[in-house]
Amino acid sequence: MSDRYLNLVNSPVGSAVAARVGLPQPSVLRRYEAGAPILPGPVLLGSTSPKPAAGLRKAVEATGAEVLDLAGEGVKVAAAVLDARSVSAPGDLARLREFLQPATKALAANGRVLVLGTPADGADITADATRQALDGIVRSLAKELRRGATANLLWVQDEASLPAALRFFLSGRSAYVDGQPVLLGAGTAPAPADWTQPLAGKTALVTGAARGIGAAIAGVLARDGAKVICADLTQAGEALAKVANRVGGTALHLDVAAPEASATLLEHLAAQTAGLDVLVHNAGITRDKLMANMKPEQWDSVIAVNLQSQLSINAALLDSDQLNQQARVVCLSSTTGLSGNRGQTNYGATKSGVIGLVRASAAAFAAHGDSTINAVAPGFIDTEMTAKMPFATREVARRLSSLQQAGLPVDVAEGVAWLASPGAGGVNGQVLRVCGQNLVGA
Amino acid sequence: MSDRYLNLVNSPVGSAVAARVGLPQPSVLRRYEAGAPILPGPVLLGSTSPKPAAGLRKAVEATGAEVLDLAGEGVKVAAAVLDARSVSAPGDLARLREFLQPATKALAANGRVLVLGTPADGADITADATRQALDGIVRSLAKELRRGATANLLWVQDEASLPAALRFFLSGRSAYVDGQPVLLGAGTAPAPADWTQPLAGKTALVTGAARGIGAAIAGVLARDGAKVICADLTQAGEALAKVANRVGGTALHLDVAAPEASATLLEHLAAQTAGLDVLVHNAGITRDKLMANMKPEQWDSVIAVNLQSQLSINAALLDSDQLNQQARVVCLSSTTGLSGNRGQTNYGATKSGVIGLVRASAAAFAAHGDSTINAVAPGFIDTEMTAKMPFATREVARRLSSLQQAGLPVDVAEGVAWLASPGAGGVNGQVLRVCGQNLVGA
């Protein structure tokens, strides 16, 4: 399961050999560490406007990083943040080159490029076309950056969620998020008393929590301060109990596809908690088969567990008095839901379905006391499941992304934790890829 | 420039060797031939509803193909069309497996799978989530099909454009379109007097027509009955004249990035034609460079030619009396505009910008007598430009799609011609990928 190739090319001899013969050279990514600063170095801050927004500078400074206006000779920066919200005609795009060309050169290993744009609003054709150009710039740049550096794009409709978004995208929490646009809309997004404990006082429930990505999500939500109810099948009992103990949470035996699942869940919540703040629909199964050989039970079981269960539980929760105001629901999708995957028509159906679900449900959750619902779409993540893949298939899949490596379960968990946090209240009905800019098809 | 690998694996010996050692086996794709039927065999037609829509059956029969309701033992079908517009709950998706499992087995080489769905309408969460599942099914299936077969998805909001869409997606015209959803909305979409001459009586202008994809577009529009004005730089004079002569059209010297471009264009139209019906913004340049080394002139020239020119000419045409009612504007984008590409931040900016342009302009063109504006996004297309790529880079790029080969300029031209046709009036503000389901990143 450990990425021996990545370890090899990061050894002194392996690194020299890989460089000599032109092999991919994935970096060891910078990830969250308790107590470490959000950024290990200064931030280069620029703007396409002659009058830079004071609010953005303050928000960047609040992360604790030193802010530079110019990349000095020989200075390495940990991040380059460009406020490109003012572009409104193609000629304005030259400002992006002027900033990004030297910024790219000054970027340290595991650096962050973050561009802020204004989303299209239908008022002016030239302005909207120019704004959309940011997407092609950021995605192309993400494919150019090396040594663990990433580039992402924030469409800022409303600044309320900017502080939490900056803390996610500039820190090691977003290690495996690359080439990703996210819309920050209006929404209640309170700053937590302590940014290292954004989920303090919150109750979260994670389905499929006994292992893999689900266990990682339970761990990160607990690290961020939540009281976590770890739910999984009865037969996962021992593993589930271990996870629950490790994260200081409780265990709940729950088959999300059972007819009584919602009732079991609501009863548990009524007895145990002051209402639910965070729900993570992580439980999911695969029954991979080419369509030509797909059996009814392989199809039906995947649809029931991965899609129908999320719909049923959400409806029951919204109908109950157990879902708190400003709740956060995060649904696990997949890059397969965006681009399809060979042998996964059943799984792809459910993971596209989940994307349809969060888009269609956003208004209903917003109406429930400014709650939100979003999806996280992991790409190729190293888990027990991928450890069973044939060696060559796994090796190729690991390199087919801009970061040239698989993600870890904790990378998905960090994405979930950001969307689950109070400060992400302006993000609703969206899909966050955690895929290292996976090459899976547009 | 010819694909020697494709030729090799389609020879008797090469085919056996490739199969033995597990190499990719791209097929020779079925493309448009004058006089050939739209489909070379029967169509298997199914529905997720117990009451199949009679209109769809008539529209499929009108293509001249025999329609089958069941795949008989040993019968090969040229296409499988599934009306999945009725699905409204996850359990309904089982109907897709029931139809597609045997249909996939019965599909002939170069076969077509076409699924019709109802687009999300915000009325019901469960229905919208279920509908979106079709996307994951079709994209996954497209990755499974072999021997030149494709799978695509029509979101049918309005049936007006269905006849023209069926003729495109079921025929050899869509050879290199795969894993692609298209929305058929409301719009004036008259059936032509003769479906083999849908552009009869229309005047079309193609920029960058002197060579490559532009020359192919001019050829296909002329084949479909249009009078074509072939526009290109003065220095392309001789090549341009040859193309114009070949397609029975006229030549216009036009530098789309020059300040006087719009005036030159409008003068020419006023003197020569009864107004313009079809405009294809094909002129474009590349100045590839990593951002770290990008020079101002490399950036600025690409922005001016590929994006600013389209905005300026569109605005001038809409302001003039030279653009006819029910006009069709088709803008060349690229999969780089969807997913980015290493070394192409400038080109990616413009190709994303074009996507923003068509989305933002759709309403203005609809208001101009039911005109439309759409983008075509080619993937890896074999041209003089790609012939200059290093051998290994080109070979890898050619195989990184579901069809395991590069497209031809004519494939892009066919996509343009469909969007340019009167019958495509319900398609507006959209992006048609012609990329063989290229693996470029979500």
Structure confidence by residue, pLDDT tens digits, A58-76: 999 999 999 999 888 889 9
pTM: 0.96
- Minimal Cβ distance to B356: which of A120, A291, A345: A120
Pairing of strands A250-253, A276-281: unpaired
Question: Residue B98: its chain A contacts at CB < 8 A?
Answer: 296
Specify the pLDDT at position A392: 77
Q: Considering only CB atoms, which chain A residues are within 8 Å of B356?
A: 120, 128-133
Is it the case that residue B1 has pLDDT exceeding 70? no
**Domain segments of chain A: what residues?**
1-25, 31-184, 203-434
Averaged pLDDT score across all residues of chain A? 94
Instruction: Enter the tokens of residue B121.
Output: 């309408």
| Residues of B with catalytic roles | 347
pLDDT tier, A32 (very low <50, low <70, confident <90, very high otherwise): very high
Q: Bigger pLDDT: A389 or B177? A: B177
Residues of A tagged active-site: 347
Which residues in chain B have their CB less than 8 angstroms from residue A287's CB? Answer: none
Residue range B67-92: mean pLDDT, rounded: 95
Question: Torsions phi, psi of A78, nearest 5?
Answer: -80, -20
Predicted confidence band at A200 (pLDDT cuts at 50, 70, 90)?
A: very high
- What angle, rounded to 10 degrees, do the helices at A125-144 and A94-106 form? 20
- Tokens read off for A171: 């820190």
Burial of B12 (0-12, 13-18, 19+ CB in 10 A): exposed
CB contacts, 8 Å: A128 with chain B: 356-357, 359-360
The answer to whether A141 contacts B291, with C-beta atoms less than 8 Å apart, is yes
Output b/e per residue, B135-158; b: 16+ Cβ within 10 A. bbbbbbbbbbbeebbbbbbbbbbe
Q: Which chain B residues are closer than 8 Å to A347 by Cβ?
A: 136, 140
Beta bridge partners of B232: B253
Q: What is the pLDDT of residue B442?
A: 67
pLDDT number for residue A256: 98
Closest-CA residue of B relative to A293 is B101
Asked whether the beta carbons of residue B140 and residue A354 sit closer than 8 angstroms, the reply is no
Q: What are the strands of the beta sheet with A323-332, ordered from one edge?
A: A250-253, A227-232, A203-207, A276-281, A323-332, A372-378, A431-434
CB contact under 8 A, B360 and A120: yes
Inter-chain touch A340–B138, beta carbons under 8 Å: yes
**In terms of Cα–Cα distance, which of B21, B303, B33, B343 is closest to B175?**
B33
The mean pLDDT of chain B is 94
Residue to test with chain B: of A48, A88, A121, A126, most B Cβ within 10 A: A126
Q: What is the pLDDT of residue B276?
A: 98
Secondary structure (H, E, C), chain A: CCCHHHHHHCCHHHHHHHHHHCCCCCCCCCCCCCCCCCCCCCEEEEECCCCCCHHHHHHHHCCCCCEECCCCCCCCEEEEEEECCCCCCHHHHHHHHHHHHHHHHHEEEEEEEEEEECCCCCCCHHHHHHHHHHHHHHHHHHHHCCCCCEEEEEEECCHHHHHHHHHHHHCHHHCCCCCCEEEECCCCCCCCCCCCCCCCCCEEEEECCCCHHHHHHHHHHHHCCCEEEEEECHHHHHHHHHHHHHCCCEEEECCCCCCCHHHHHHHHHHHHCCCEEEEEECCCCCCCECHHHCCHHHHHHHHHHHHHHHHHHHHHHHHCCCEEEEEEEEEECCHHHHHCCCCEHHHHHHHHHHHHHHHHHHHHHHHCCCCEEEEEEECCECCHHHHCCCHHHHHHHHHCECCCCCECHHHHHHHHHHHHCHHHCCCCCCEEEECCCECCCC
| Subunit contact A126:B311, Cβ cutoff 8 A | yes
pLDDT-based confidence at residue A21 (cuts at 50, 70, 90):
low
Shortest alpha-carbon distance between residue A267 and chain B (Å): 24
Q: Interface pTM (ipTM) of the complex?
A: 0.95
d(CA B14, CA B378): 29
What is the predicted pLDDT for the residue at B180?
A: 97
Which of A141, A294, A354 has its CB closest to that of B101?
Answer: A294
Asked whether the domain spanning B203-434 has the same topology as the one spanning B31-184, the reply is yes
**Sign, CA torsion A251/A252/A257/A262:** negative
CA–CA min distance A138, chain B (Å): 8
CA-based nearest residue in chain B for residue A290:
B144
Work out the pLDDT band at A272, boundaries 50, 70, 90: confident
Calculate mean pLDDT across residues A12-41: 84
Give the pLDDT mean for B282-294: 97
The per-residue pLDDT for range A313-342, each reduced to its tens digit, is 999 999 999 999 999 999 999 999 999 999
Minimum-distance CB partner of A128 among B96, B335, B360: B360
Quick: pLDDT tens for A100-153.
999 999 999 999 999 999 999 999 999 999 999 999 999 999 999 999 999 999
Q: Which residues of B touch A338 (CB under 8 A)?
A: 442
pLDDT of residue A7: 79
B144 vs A104, A304, A342: nearest CB: A342
Query: Taking residues B393-398, what's their average pLDDT?
Result: 79
pLDDT digits 0-9 by tens, B64-76: 999 999 888 889 9
Contact A143 B342 (CB under 8 A): yes
Average pLDDT over residues B205-211: 97
Residue A422 token pair? 């109070």
State the number of CA atoms in the 13 A half-sphere of B3 facing the CB. 26
The stretch A367-385 carries a mean pLDDT of 94
What's the whole-number mean pLDDT along residues B98-104? 97
**Nearest-by-CA chain B residue for A95:** B296
Is residue A124 within 8 A of residue A390, CB to CB? The reply is: no
> Nearest by CB to B441, which of A124, A377, A439?
A439
pLDDT value at B122 more than 60: yes
CATH class of B203-434: alpha beta
pLDDT on residue A442? 67
Does the distance separating the beta carbons of A441 and B179 come in below 8 Å?
yes
Nearest CA distance, A271 vs chain B (angstrom): 29
Judge whether residue A343 has pLDDT over 60. yes
Task: State what percent of residues in chain B have pLDDT above 70.
Answer: 99
Distance (Å) from the C-alpha of residue A190 to the closest C-alpha of chain B? 28
Whether the per-residue pLDDT at A11 is higher than 90: the answer is: no
For the cut 60, the answer to whether the pLDDT of residue A168 exceeds it is yes
pLDDT band at residue B272 using 50, 70 and 90 as cut-offs: confident
CATH superfamily of the domain spanning B31-184 = NAD(P)-binding Rossmann-like Domain (3.40.50.720)
Q: What is the pLDDT of residue A44?
A: 98
**Number of CB pairs < 8 Å for A and B?**
296
* SS3 assignment, position B360: helix
Residues of A in contact with B307 (CB under 8 A): 90, 129-130, 133
Interface test with A, best of B125, B312, B376, B396 (most A CBs within 10 A): B125
Per CB-CB distance under 8 Å, the chain B contacts of A133 are 307, 349-350, 352-353, 356
Instruction: Evaluate if residue B221 carries a pLDDT over 60.
Output: yes
Do B104 and A355 count as a contact with CB atoms less than 8 A apart? no
Q: What is the pLDDT of residues A250-267, one digit of tens each?
A: 999 999 999 999 999 999
